[in-house]
Amino acid sequence: MDRRKFITTTLAAGVAGGALSSCASTDKKAKAAPIVMPIAEREKWLGSFSCNIEMWFKHLPFLDRISAAKEMGFNAVEFWNPMQPKKGKVPKLIAQRAKDEGITITSFSPGAPNLGDVNNHNKFIEWTQGAIELCEVFKVPNFNLTGHKNIKGQSEKQNIEIYTQAIKLAAPIFEKAGVMATIEPYNPFNHPGHFINGGEPGLSICREVNSPSIKLNWDFFHMQRTNGNLITHMENGFDQIGYIQLADSPSRHQPGTEEVAYGAVLLRLRELGYKGYIGAECFPKNKDDLQAAIDLANLAKSINLT
């Protein structure tokens, strides 16, 4: 069996009803399966989204998740730390598989040292070169930057000041390389123990550094959990948005399964001028990758998202 047949067969085992087609079945579980949107239509409406292969297709080996995303109708993927060979993550192999499948890599998170600790700043400057090299390997001009865990004995204000110092040191390096580091704020409910949550202080940090190479990874899931009022906060922070991710709230499943009116949010996002990919950093509900893809495609179709 060739690799593409393997992926298709394995995908079929992992989706609701156990199939990627709309063929009828006498099995009761199959009757509850979603009506499958034809692949050509799915490809059209999934074109705005980048599939987070850390959270989708978890039953597959890592590299095969890239192929699975292609089979599902995505043309782009994102992922977290690519330097984990024990998990099947080898940068050159990831890049090659993406190239073979015609998949664009839109973002990755190379795991920065904790920047609230001033003792890590020299290490961070050394780390920047590796992040830049990974951008070259993946042919993507941006990557995700975290490194904002609380430091014992330091106030939140001190943590933020020291973090900002580190970002100021790195900004000229990223500018020279022509890459963008997108700081990702978290939320205190799902990611306790961090000092950058929601819109602030990330916005203030970016505005103080004032560099085209330092922006925010505006993850609507974290913004909703921390601040709510997604459209107004997005409008107020739009000048510092470098990359977008989303998931419904509060359980982090795909849009349409919980409380966020993503149709209105994404329409406003495009009106404001964001033309980039939207990272689908969500857990498919009930581990049903097919249904999650259909839900995303239907969301895009309902608002003509391109």
- 58-72 confidence digits (pLDDT tens): 999 999 999 999 999
Q: How many CA atoms lie within 13 A of 52 on its CB side?
A: 23
Do 140 and 98 form a contact (C-beta atoms < 8 A)? no
Cα distance between residue 1 and residue 5, in whole Å: 6
Identify which of 226, 227, 283, 225 has the alpha carbon closest to the alpha carbon of residue 255. Answer: 283
What does the pLDDT average to over 34-42? 85
| Segment 107-129 mean pLDDT | 97
Judge whether residue 9 has pLDDT over 60.
Answer: no
Better pLDDT: 195 or 35: 195
pLDDT of residue 257: 97
Answer for the pair 247, 220: CB distance below 8 angstroms, yes or no: yes
In the structure, what pLDDT confidence band is assigned to residue 306 with cuts at 50, 70 and 90?
confident
pTM for the whole structure = 0.90
Query: Stretch 281-303: mean pLDDT, rounded?
Result: 97
What b/e sequence results for 283-293 when a residue is b if at least 16 CB atoms lie within 10 Å of its CB, and e otherwise?
Answer: bbbeebbbbbb
Q: What is the mean pLDDT of residues 238-245?
A: 98
pLDDT score of 34 more than 90: no
Output the CA torsion sign for 58, 64, 65, 71: negative
What secondary structure does DSSP assign to 48-92, as a single string? TEEEETTTS-TTS-HHHHHHHHHHHT-SEEE-S---BGGGTB-HH
DSSP state of 287: G
